[in-house]
Amino acid sequence: MDYFSRIQKSIDFIENNLKEDISLINVSEQAYSSVPHFYRMFQITTGYSVMDYIRRRRLNQAAYELLSTDKRVIDIALDYQFSAEETFIRAFVKMFGITPGRYRRLSNVHDIFTKITLNNQYIIIRKEEIDMEPRFITRGFKLV
């Protein structure tokens, strides 16, 4: 199994468990990596930290449920592992710029953050964004 397949397997695990308590250890096990190594590689590959990706995906799915169901905001918040409605609302406003109630009333709003699929196109785009050339930096030292 190559490196990108292992990261994709961890993304699939996250997607299948958005309503569950997800730990960094569980996710890194999907990629057969240590937590520190996986954390760095996930961020380099996707452009997001693991927990930021999980939070964004949970909020996106919660937004979808706001539009497609009549569930109360607190129920949706708890389903997606937010400890309180206030925490959910704060995170929701930070990501979408509006409250969940207002989002629900604006039925023309669409998904913003979709699942990452590591295909060749995505990998090429990410490689262009990442500067992998080594640089030597010389700093002056002052002898006392």
- The answer to whether residues 37 and 80 touch, using CB atoms and an 8 Å cutoff, is no
More reliable by pLDDT, 74 or 125: 74
Q: Is the pLDDT of residue 87 over 60?
A: yes
List the CATH number of the domain containing 39: 1.10.10.60
In a domain, 140, yes or no: no
The amino acid occupying position 33 is S
Q: Which domain holds residue 93?
A: 3-129
Give the count of domains, the chain: 1
- The answer to whether residues 113 and 59 touch, using CB atoms and an 8 Å cutoff, is yes
Q: What is the pLDDT of residues 10-58, one digit of tens each?
A: 999 999 999 999 999 999 999 999 999 999 999 988 989 999 999 999 9
pLDDT tier at 125, thresholds 50, 70, 90: low
What pTM does this model have?
0.79
More reliable by pLDDT, 105 or 136: 105
- Percent of the chain beyond pLDDT 70? 81
